[in-house]
Amino acid sequence: MPDVHAALSYVRQFTDLKPSLGLILGSGLSVLADLVQNPVVLETSKIPGYPSSTVEGHVGRLVFGSIQGVSVVFVQGRLHVYEGHSVSDATFPVRLLSAIGVQKLIVTNAAGGIRSDFKPGTLMWIVDHINWTNLNPIMGSGIKAFPETRNAQQFNYYDAEWTKRAQAKAAKLGIDTATGTYLWTLGPSYETKAEIRAFKLIGADAVGMSTVPEVIQARSCGMKVLGLSTITNFAAGLGEDELNHEEVLEVGRQVRSDLERLVLALIAG
Ligand code: HPA
């Protein structure tokens, strides 16, 4: 498992900030980092040991700063296993955030909508997930089964109380949100119609190619997690159009102002 010590020392040459809140920005959502005041921007390509991102439309940066007086760090350009990264490399940013001091993590992504009322533009709080890949970032690191059996019944990957507060904030801002289960597929190819029918049967509301390994890693580091999907398209076979990455980015741009208002409210408390 790649070590974050050298990366942490590098980061500390540029900032002493120890934000307790981190955000991972998904496809089309990197602009949210523009909200940060007095930003200290680090190119991830210069951070020792940080795996390099290869996806078009993704930048690779850590943005430190504050929003309304709260210290934050944004990860722009997440790493996907489908790029060829091992699941342990793909979750390097989460381990680095943990070393920096992050205790609460907001993960955002773009996802295909499976539930029939999930039109493009729907915002969905992730309340549970299905790991269709069965890859696991904490595998082989000498870590015990996680969560430990005796705690498993109370264990939530996604913080229920934080999600409830987030829903209330969205409602107050007049932003409609839903809740649902996110299914992680490896990608990079989109799903077949048959796969989407199967995913619906097993309880998935949305499908995407990220997030779950980060969440497993974050919880094993002891972080609290809030997950938010932007539904950018109907999943395969459910809409009229072909799926493409441009469409995913375009819907991301359209819901930008709602997301900005929501993220500001979430950071405020
Ligand atoms: N499938 C997988 N990943 C996605 C999709 C999808 O339909 N939309 C955005 N990310």
Our answer on whether the CB atom of 19 is closer than 6 Å to any ligand 1 atom is no
**Cα-to-centroid distance, 109 and ligand 1 (Å):** 9
Q: Which of 30, 184, 168 is nearest to 114 (CA)?
A: 184
Give the Cα separation of 228 and 259 in Å (integer): 10
Q: Is 248 in the pocket of ligand 1 (CB under 6 A)?
A: yes
What are the boundaries of each domain within the chain? 5-268
Comparison of pLDDT for 30 and 228, the residue scoring more: 228
State pLDDT tens for residues 127-143.
999 999 999 998 876 66
In the prediction, which pLDDT does 140 show? 73
Which atom from ligand 1 is nearest to the alpha carbon of 235? Answer: 7
Q: What is the pLDDT of residues 180-192, one digit of tens each?
A: 999 999 989 999 9
Distances 49 to 141, 166, 236 between C-alpha atoms, Å: 18, 34, 36
pLDDT band at 42 (very low <50, low <70, confident <90, very high): very high
Tell which one of 130, 191, 234, 253 to mutate to probe ligand 1, the residue whose CB is within 8 A of the most ligand atoms. Answer: 191
Q: What is the CA 156 to chain-centroid distance, rounded?
A: 16
**What distance in angstroms lies between residue 24's CA and the mean position of ligand 1's atoms?**
17
In the predicted model, what is the mean pLDDT of residues 163-175? 96
> How far does the centroid of ligand 1 lie from the alpha carbon of residue 122, in Å?
13
Q: What angle do CA 43, 46, 47 make, to 5 degrees?
A: 95
Spatial distance between the Cα atoms of 104 and 15, rounded to a whole number of angstroms: 19
- In words, the CATH class of domain 5-268 is alpha beta
From the alpha carbon of 209, which atom of ligand 1 is closest? 3
Cα–Cα distance between 79 and 152 in angstroms, integer? Answer: 28
Q: What is the pTM of this model?
A: 0.92
Inform me whether the pLDDT recorded for 34 exceeds 90.
no
- The whole-number average pLDDT for the span 102-121 is 94
Over range 22-26, report the average pLDDT: 92
